[in-house]
Structure 1
Amino acid sequence: MSTPTATHPAHESCVATRVEAHTIAPELADRAAAVLKAVADPLRLRMIALIASAPKGEACVCDLTELAEVSGPTVSHHLKTLKEAGLVASERRGTWVYYRVAEPYQPAVRGLLETLVPAAGAERAPHDIELENVDRALAAVISSLTERFPEIAPTLVDRIVRESYTGLARRAAIRQHLVPLTRHFAWQRLEDIRKADAPAGDYPPQVLFVCVQNAGRSQLAAALLHRYAGDRVVVRSAGSMPAASVHDKVRVHLDELGGDEGAFPKPLTDDAVRASDVVITMGCGDVCPIYPGKRYEDWQVGDPALASAEGVAAIRDDIDGRVRGLLGDLLPDLTLPPIRKASA
């Protein structure tokens, strides 16, 4: 009867050496696992994708808050996780903080977005043709706006158009109108940039209304002000977390007021605040950057999102009275139509 052959210590050492040669060192595995854990959260993965694909490779914290309907502290928590993992670096410039992928991880993030993410969605139908059509349409928009704003660098026009499309596309419910809406929004942004860069010009007063979704209160306020003042006041509206579309019960009132193509939810931009003389917030908290020399007001107005049709009508009447008061300050000589009878 044979007896088992004892394993020689030298043999065990040789096997261990071969195994170690074909795997990752423990300390490197720990580090890599920490990085993978940081991007394993869906929202953080979308954040890092937005940062990596943004113009100039950086994104403002205001852009990142638009990715999901979460609170500011939640966004800050996710960004802190990415920073602690070493994936992103931040820099404060003026009133906003900008984030970019940390240089050592740029190739890894690019590989992640170009290989793993497409592989995860491989079963979906390809959209190459659609993307090519969109790119051609955006190129036409860029060309026309470059001609319209010759004093603004073509590279900036290009960036504003593409940023505008990306910002609107994130929440768009119907995509076939995205290009014309992008043109309108980019045109507004370029107008604001031109005014902000040359503030000494002869401009009419400019008012910015801001709420959370830009789907109700701020849209009504902007439509009412435009209805009464016309071109004598430049009016903008925006949302800190824009919705996919204007609320249906609000749309009825916008149609009655003669709403135009501007009646769609738009993200808040720093340029819109810089170009405005009056900034009015409605239930969105402290989201607007503060610039000296501007008039800031917070209107405590009901939210039409969950209101009945009668409730929305009452909110419109409340906003109507406030808009009339504002115009009494901005355009004292303006004759306003009689106050609409309160809805039953």
Structure 2
Amino acid sequence: MRDGKGAIGETLLTWYDSHARVMPWRVSPTDRAEGERPDPYRVWLSEVMLQQTTVAAVRDYFRRFTERWPDVGALAAAEDGDVMAEWAGLGYYARARNLLKCARVVAGDLNGRFPETAAELQKLPGIGPYTSAAIAAIAYDEPVAVVDGNVERVVSRLFSVDTPLPGAKTELTELTAQITPEDRPGDFAQAMMDLGATICTPRNPACGICPLIDACTARAAGIAETLPRKAPKKEKPTRRGFAYVAMNGQGDVLLERRPDKGLLGGTLGFPGSDWSDAPTPAPPMQADWTTSPVEVRHTFTHFHLILQVHVTRTEARAMTPRADFRPGDLPTLMRKVWDAAQSAEWPQPE
């Protein structure tokens, strides 16, 4: 069996040499063979961005980030607000906060050099088991198992693992380690990701053109599309809240920066209430507030959120000048609040 598992690596690398996807953060197998080394900064940045996000969504963000902050020192010196604004729309804002923390540790404490092993990388802010393994394998060729959702699917089908996720994660990681070659482990990790993204897809996998068709036990058994199995999802609760959009006569807008901890931490947004089953109204000032006819609906990882949006015109508070207000820099939820505010009947200025 070990010989068979070794052959999987060789077969997949041969396929990858001809079919590797082109990514702005990736060194192609051809360039890699000619001696070009992946930049650990770009590998790290891409892996953090890709957490719970698609490749298609990340491409433009990655290009903007690397044009503005081309290395870890530049990112470490960036203003928090600038980074959060560039991150707007990618979601999971704790990633952006940890991105800055990690950049500052690497630039300040490690002389701008990322550690070269998964064990040391995992000590950095925001870098967990998967991200540390991916950086170590891709940037430094450490032969460690790199297991994302695509790899879980490929491996569960190769070896007919029917234990439901997330309970199967340990077994799938061990199996991935067994087939990870000592030679070119970074290219192997990326090949597994590409195979899962383009051929061994969740639905209608293209088994007929898969380079691993002869090794796949689930395909032989006719159960490939049923794997990986997943434990039933718990139903998400729904929370409610209030959001308040205030403008003055010049179109300046009242914004606040959210606390660093918690959802949307460190981002700009509109004042609001708590989010709960029975939220308490919390207008930021006494004013003539009117209610938008449009409710905002948004889904986070663990709950659905419904916000009632209130608007007012007032000169009572210092505000962000209209020229400096860019709705596109707001998190998706706050952009939805802004859009809902446009449907309200605004009261006249005080």
Shorter-chain TM-score tier: under 0.3
TM-score normalized with structure 1 length: 0.26
Q: Using CA pairs below 8 Å that are at least 6 residues apart, which structure has the higher relative contact order?
A: 2
Q: Return the index of the structure with the highest Cα Rg.
A: 1
